[in-house]
Amino acid sequence: MSTLQVALAIAGGVVLAGVVAHSAWSSRKSKPRQADPLPGREDSSGAPLDPPIEAARVASQRSEPTDFESVVPVMDRRPIQDALIDVLAPIELDSPASGDAALAAFPATRRVGTKLFTLEGVNATSGEWEQLRAGQRYSAFQAGVQLANRMGALNEIEFSEFVVKTQAFADAVDGVPEFPEMLEEVARARELDQFASSHDAQLSFSLKATKLAWSPGYVQQNAARLGFVPGVIPGRMVIPAATVGLPPILGLSFDSQAALAEDPTLSAIRALTLTLDVPQVDRREEPFARMCQIATELARVMEGVITDDHGQLLSPAAMHSIESDLRALYDTLDARDLSAGSAQARRLFS
């Protein structure tokens, strides 16, 4: 081989090596940002295990109340009926009835159309209203159906279904129900629904990547540092309430397909959504202030920008303006005895 051929071969090798190196560099540069692995934790292949991914795999050990299930009370001792948001029908008894018989006569579904149906009784021993329990005796009962929720106002058909269910229960326990006037209750339901529709607020911020995309693990790790835990739905995290069973204070979500990918480290996420269901969370938790602080910190650490639902950048001044509007909303809900985070508000705005 001549000297020229050798030189050309060497030059070709150098060019090929350069192309390979540039390709590898470009691949690394475009790869989504990854979470920082914890030392000493590896998967079956020997690669470091992403802590947030591992946390998501055991998320089934946690519980997160869903938007609707969290506001449907379970059968415990505490009364839940409230004349402010329920149609109430007293049921008189000639003699006390057992809780076992009452529970056996409870309708198969606790819904009337899209509204919550409830039954409570006066405990014959304590004289207090409570939800029905086995092993107790009751001197009176009361049926209730919710006047309104986010699905709309109670209508005439639902009221009629409420009457049928209540009458069937009353017959089973040898009781006599007394129903309010349907047209009056339906009108009350419409008024309450109109108020609720005018004073509902579900806020969301978008966080968008300005440089590299994010992997699910990278998102989860940074969110976890700010108090988020995995939700029950892939691609969702929440800041849980201090009291078990209450709705989460804030939610964070991203593409569920990215979270479910066979290799999440290759999934590219370019946007997150932070959410606050205002009527569901007590104002004393200062949820909006926390939302703003978290959005600002995530944007700083993850190199992103904060926008509204329409893609417009959200400045600190805009956030302050929203906070002022929220204070007025909170005050209006307080004045109506439907304070954000109260049992009544959680049921009405569900």
pLDDT value at position 61?
A: 36
**Is pLDDT of 314 > 60?**
yes
Rg (CA), the chain: 29
Please report, for the chain, the start and end positions of each structural domain, with discontinuous segments joined by +. 69-197, 199-348
Token output for 256:
């569920």
- C-alpha distances in Å from residue 279, one per residue of 49, 339, 349: 39, 7, 7
pLDDT digits (tens, 9 = 90+) for 145-163: 999 999 999 999 999 999 9
On whether the CB atoms of residues 250 and 290 are closer than 8 A, the answer is: yes
pLDDT value at position 72?
A: 41
Token output for 82:
């409230």
pLDDT digits (tens, 9 = 90+) for 31-68: 788 887 755 444 444 444 444 434 333 333 334 444 44
d(C-alpha 53, C-alpha 307), whole Å: 27
* Best CA proximity match to 249, nearest among 296, 293, 309: 293
pLDDT value at position 12?
A: 52
- Cβ-based neighbour number of residue 41 at 10 Å: 11
**Is pLDDT of 129 > 80?**
yes
d(C-alpha 196, C-alpha 150), whole Å: 8
pLDDT value at position 48?
A: 44
For 199-348, give the CATH class. alpha beta
Mean pLDDT, range 233-256, rounded to an integer: 94
Domain pair 69-197 / 199-348, same fold: yes
**Is pLDDT of 186 > 70?**
yes
Question: At which residue do the structure tokens 């899209």 appear?
Answer: 114
Mean pLDDT, range 209-235, rounded to an integer: 95
For the domain covering 69-197, report its CATH number: 3.30.1400
Q: Cβ contacts of residue 170 below 8 Å, gap of 6+? A: 91, 141, 176, 177
